[in-house]
Structure 1
Amino acid sequence: MGSEGARKPRILCLHGFRTSAEILKTQIHKWPQSVLDNFDLVFVDAPFPCQGKSDVEGIFDPPYYEWFQFNKEFTEYTNFDECLKYIEECMIKHGPFDGLLGFSQGAILSAALPGLQEKGMALTKVPKVKFIIIVGGAKFRSASVADKAYSSPIACPSLHFLGETDFLKKYGLELLESCVEAVVIHHPKGHTIPRLDDKGLKTMMDFIEKIKEIGENKK
């Protein structure tokens, strides 16, 4: 076990669209053990079974899940309130949590949750989200969600992974504009959870130190 009384930051990990907790766990394990040893990671499946073809078919085994459904323009969402309720239930059951980590659809959710929590629209029964780790994220485009999620700047520390060839990169940059304490790891890949090069690893370790200090100060 770690040093006496030291508690690792507990992080709820939200996987990508039409994937699963197991798949995200596999993707995250590309990161060195020296990073993973600093976190207490909890992976949960999204509430809804996959309602169409998954992009990871043939790469990762099913079952696949999705957090909510959306139209082609990503401006209308179905089962969104149920999704928020489900995430809160997971946080009550497996928590308390310090932060969120999300990839793709899970990253879009993770980045919106601190603002929605601040406005009393989500996570009202759990402690405040202290930090977020966003891999391949973006903002919600529906005004009904965006007006609440980003009307105030996202004040908690945030770490963002931006892929050079990620189709969401442009939207990930837009998200950065809403974050007060954003740290960025750039990588040459596309829409994926990348391995960490030396520079990325240093940025990640610095971020870990920062969030651990927050934990210490909150005691």
Structure 2
Amino acid sequence: MFNKASSSTTEQIKNQSKKLKLEISERVRVLCLHGYRQNGDSFKSKLGSLRKQVSKYADFVFISAPHVAEQLDKPEENGSNMIVEKDQLSWWFNSEDGKTFKATNRNAVAYKFEESVRFVENIWMAEGPFQGLLGFSQGACFVGLIAGLAKMHMTKIRPNFVILSSGFISGSLAHVNYFDEPIEIPSLHIFGESDDIVTPQMSKALAKHFEHCEILTHPGGHYFPATAVQKPIYLNFFQDRLQDYLEEKELSRMKAEGLLKFEVSDNSDISENNFPDAEDSDES
């Protein structure tokens, strides 16, 4: 919430905000988490179209999970991904023997999950700053769990937004309390209407835990879509996230220089509509 501020200060912020919209020289940085039995390089290749579509607004950093999954010699019969990945990795395992992972496992273990949290934390701190997290399938489940940990102040990772493709709620007993409180950061949830690995119902259940969520569906199966149909949604989402970042950065600069006379909470909406006593602008 905003405390009282002079009209000259609020006008200064408004004018600078408009300038930022015209002079975009930065991008948000997004840390990307691949799915089960994938790796960072293969995930980067799969998201080539998305990276190209939003290259003006976002940079993507791809990392590989620290745990080796039980290797497949032939593709699973899911009808959507018939390529056998090399370097098949996992963020954690939820089978009784601690060797495999399945999205539909319930009352399960979370073997090596904490190790992966520390692994991602170290990258977040060492290679940042990052503004967002993106995940696919198991990676999307992981991103959701990280957002829950951040909400509870139980991780060093502090995403300002998340993108979750084919996401779902973890069935591991260790994760049952991660969504006790709604997640308030902006989120984009993407899933296929024909996905028989992570069903639409599973992805919708995860989205319900995010207050400011946008849902994007596609008619296909278990993959991250990036066609001309989805491009406007991605562009709008990343434009908004970049604007949020630039405005927050400008507010921080002005506070450091003593130009602001009020405090801003961590998740304050700094859009023009929330400036008190400011006149409406004639510019569109």
> Aligned ranges for residues 117-136 of structure 1 at < 5 Å?
117-122=150-155, 124=156, 126=157, 128-136=158-166
CA displacement at 1:218 relative to structure 2: 1.4
CA displacement at 1:143 relative to structure 2: 4.1
Aligned partners of 2:63, 2:131: CA distance in 1, in Å?
Answer: 16
CA contact (8 A) 1:23 1:60 kept: no
Amino acid paired to 2:119: Y
Equivalent of residue 217 in structure 1, options 241, 247, 252: 247
Aligned partners of 1:31, 1:144: CA distance in 2, in Å?
Answer: 33
CA displacement at 1:195 relative to structure 2: 2.6
Aligned partners of 2:55, 2:145: CA distance in 1, in Å?
Answer: 24
Flag the 1:53–1:60 CA change in 2: closer, same or farther, 3 A: closer
Deviates more, 1:62-71 or 1:101-110: 62-71
- SS where residue 49 of structure 2 aligns? coil
What is the aligned partner in structure 1 of residue 220 from structure 2?
189
> Aligned ranges for residues 1-219 of structure 1 at < 5 Å?
6-31=25-50, 33-53=52-72, 55=75, 59-71=83-95, 73-74=105-106, 75-122=108-155, 124=156, 126=157, 128-147=158-177, 149-167=178-196, 168=198, 169-198=200-229, 200-219=230-249
Question: TM-score if structure 1 supplies the norm length?
Answer: 0.88
CA displacement at 1:4 relative to structure 2: 6.5
Aligned partners of 2:170, 2:85: CA distance in 1, in Å?
Answer: 29
CA displacement at 1:211 relative to structure 2: 0.6
Gaps of 5+ in 1: none
Structure showing greater relative contact order (alpha-carbon pairs closer than 8 Å, 6 or more residues apart) = 2
CA displacement at 1:51 relative to structure 2: 2.4
Aligned partners of 2:211, 2:117: CA distance in 1, in Å?
Answer: 24
- SS where residue 54 of structure 2 aligns? helix
Aligned partners of 1:81, 1:110: CA distance in 2, in Å?
Answer: 14
* Aligned residue-pair number: 212
Deviation readout 1:15-46 (Å, 9 max, x if unpaired): 01011101111110133623234211100110
Over the matched positions of the two proteins, sequence identity in percent amounts to 27
CA contact (8 A) 1:107 1:135 kept: yes
Question: TM-score if structure 2 supplies the norm length?
Answer: 0.69
CA displacement at 1:7 relative to structure 2: 2.0
Q: Point out the structure with max Rg over C-alpha.
A: 2
Amino acid paired to 2:123: C
Is the strand fraction higher in 1 or 2? 1
Aligned partners of 2:214, 2:153: CA distance in 1, in Å?
Answer: 26
CA contact (8 A) 1:139 1:146 kept: no
CA displacement at 1:213 relative to structure 2: 1.9
Amino acid paired to 2:92: F
Deviation readout 1:70-111 (Å, 9 max, x if unpaired): 126242110011110011011122111100000011000011
Amino acid paired to 1:131: F
Gaps of 5+ in 2: 1-21, 96-101, 250-284
Aligned partners of 1:78, 1:32: CA distance in 2, in Å?
Answer: 32
CA displacement at 1:118 relative to structure 2: 2.0
Aligned partners of 1:4, 1:197: CA distance in 2, in Å?
Answer: 26
